[in-house]
A and B are shown apart, each in its own frame.
Chain A
Amino acid sequence: MSQSVLTTRIREAAARGKKALIPFLPGGFPDKERFFTELDMLDAGGADIIEIGVPFSDPVADGPTVEQASLDCLINGTCLSWILYELAKRKGRYRAALVLMGYYNPFLQYGLDKLGEDMSDAGVSGCIVPDLPLEESGPLRQALVAHGVDVICLVGLNTPIERMKAYAKTARGFVYFVSVLGTTGVRESLPEKIKSRLADVRKVFDLPVALGFGIKTPQQLAQFGDLIDAAVFGSALIDHIRAGGDSASFMARWA
């Protein structure tokens, strides 16, 4: 199988001597129109991959910031079909690769049989489903693989090496390392144990590694050196936009 676009984007950033930047923006945030303006700014501001959140009523892996944004987007009428429809109209517009991040039920109700084709028509290269561990990920992976859409695997501080090895057998795109035993939301400091676990991830996976959950500033990443290839930041971006900023000024800090 050809190399995933997601892998390529991260390797390209590395070739420029940079960590790949993966901002997360909930679909339809802060409102349905401005969402696409923000998306353009993220793209122009140097994002290598953009994660677009698919809102869900019961986001168990998220802290208050993402949860509230998700509930606000549901109220303004954002749903998976709208996101895919609007992205399809803009296919080819973005330099950054696109990934959808959302809980399983909305994908399941959309219909796994048409999901792969519609994601690919929308220019989406992967999806991250935080409530879909290895044991349950087979049907989604099978539905998407034929369309070249990756299901990104998440591992964390408490994932045993054996489970990492099992994930590695089917993993594509990149590996998402969850930096805290907890939910999304910015943290002032990150757990000490991350480094030794990232070293395990390096040993087991032959894919680039992205660090996510809790990331607030570029300074936090320096300590990880070559152990990571990319960083995901969501709550920090949402907070910045809520405080009156935009994605352009946010990305300027990271460039």
Chain B
Amino acid sequence: MKKSYFGEFGGQFVPELLMPPLLEIEEAMEKIIPTKAFQAELAALLADYVGRPSPLYLCPNLSKRLGVNLWLKREDLNHTGAHKINNTMGQGLLTKYMGKSVLLAETGAGQHGVATATAAAMLGLQCTVYMGAEDVRRQSHNVRRMHLLGAQVVPVQSGTKTLKDAINAALRVWIADQETTHYCFGTAAGPHPFPTLVRLFQSVISREAKAQFQEKIGKLPDYVVACVGGGSNAIGMFHEFVPHPGVKLIGVEAAGTGQPGCYHSAPLSLGRPGVLHGAVSMLLQTEDGQIMPSHSIAPGLDYPGVGPEHAHLQKTGRARYDTVNDTGALRAFSALCREEGIIPALESCHAVAWVLEHAHELPPGCHVAVCLSGRGDKDLGIIEEYLEKGGTL
């Protein structure tokens, strides 16, 4: 098997002009990341700046109502409010060690953009973030945060004006600016080595969770659940559990409205293999290979592709992928707000909703670990719009 592949998924489907910078990152991964100096500096940043380890929290009220032990891995409590910072501090530090001065990023929900802008400000790097014009509108709170952090935010007007178009724009700019610029890819997708690089920095989530479970209950959880957009919080939450077959891994994709014929964001559940953004993976596409628009109430899940390692985990049967629709996610949002006093990101709500919807099928008293990938402050505009249109929580 080629090292750029996970089984039959992955690869490097990029213009030749991007091969040199990708090979440069691969080399930096081998030569810089394992060094004591890099590891020590990253560990200190994660502890003192990001605020790791993040707590593993047993939800007392929902656990009681559902009859299973619902544990939340609290990535929402990280600095900047989501798991994205684990990746951007790692890639930002790597950028410095590589001697580059600019961090380039795409963003959907704006969480990765904010996390990249934060890392850049802290590490003394410049930062440019490409964001679909539609996302600029619906996640304006995060656009303002990026501006405050000194980043330049460029709205992308082409195509569907969402995450996939922001990635196209960032890839184009990276071709021209590769000498000075590192492309800080925000999820465990894209061309090799990004899926591996992002997993490397996100697997801190499962490394901590595994140790925390040993300490709190003396064993591993029965289920590990995470939402899947591009797949970075999910692969980070799964990685250390993959070699333990007793731990069931559940990835949750966004079904959108769930109405027949409507766009959704569930390529693993409803797509076919194809090539987008540098990798062969599961993909939402037409018969003749055009990429379809996606939809989710959670902007961070609104993407027609998915990281290749998830396609592989699905194909081999190691992980199972289900869907939750917008309404289910909102129900979970309400439950966490009202019953646990936690305002979660709409992305993470998809993972929580899976537990709400499946609790009755799970063995009573089993331990379910959910990656609460982010906090929900950024989503207040979407929630208010939903309530104004007559929705209820």
Contact = CB atoms under 8 A, between A and B. Distances in A.
Given A80-B288, A108-B289, A135 B15 contact: no
Instruction: Please tell me the size bucket of the interface on B.
Output: 20 to 34
Nearest to A104: B275
Contacts, number: 113
Interface in A162-196: 163, 178, 180-183
A81 interface: yes
A154 B20 contact: no
A130 to B, nearest CB: 5
A81 B288 CA distance: 8
Instruction: Please tell me the size bucket of the interface on A.
Output: 35 or more
Given A163-B19, A181-B176, A60 B11 contact: no
Contacts of B287: 109
Contacts of B2: 135
B362 interface: no
A200 B165 CA distance: 35
Interface in B1-57: 2, 4, 11-17, 19-20
A199 B231 CA distance: 44
Given A135-B11, A181-B178, A105 B16 contact: no
B274 interface: yes
Contacts of A55: 290
Contacts of B175: 61, 181-183
A154 B16 contact: yes
A71 interface: yes
Contacts of A182: 172, 175-176
Contact of B168 (A58, A134, A180): A58
Nearest to B273: A108
A2 interface: no
Interface in A82-102: none
Interface of B: 2, 4, 11-17, 19-20, 158-159, 164-165, 168, 171-172, 175-176, 178, 274-278, 283, 285, 287-291
Given A106-B290, A108-B275, 4 more contacts: A57-B291, A133-B16, A135-B11, A159-B20
Interface of A: 55-61, 63-64, 67, 71, 74, 79-81, 103-110, 130-136, 153-160, 163, 178, 180-183
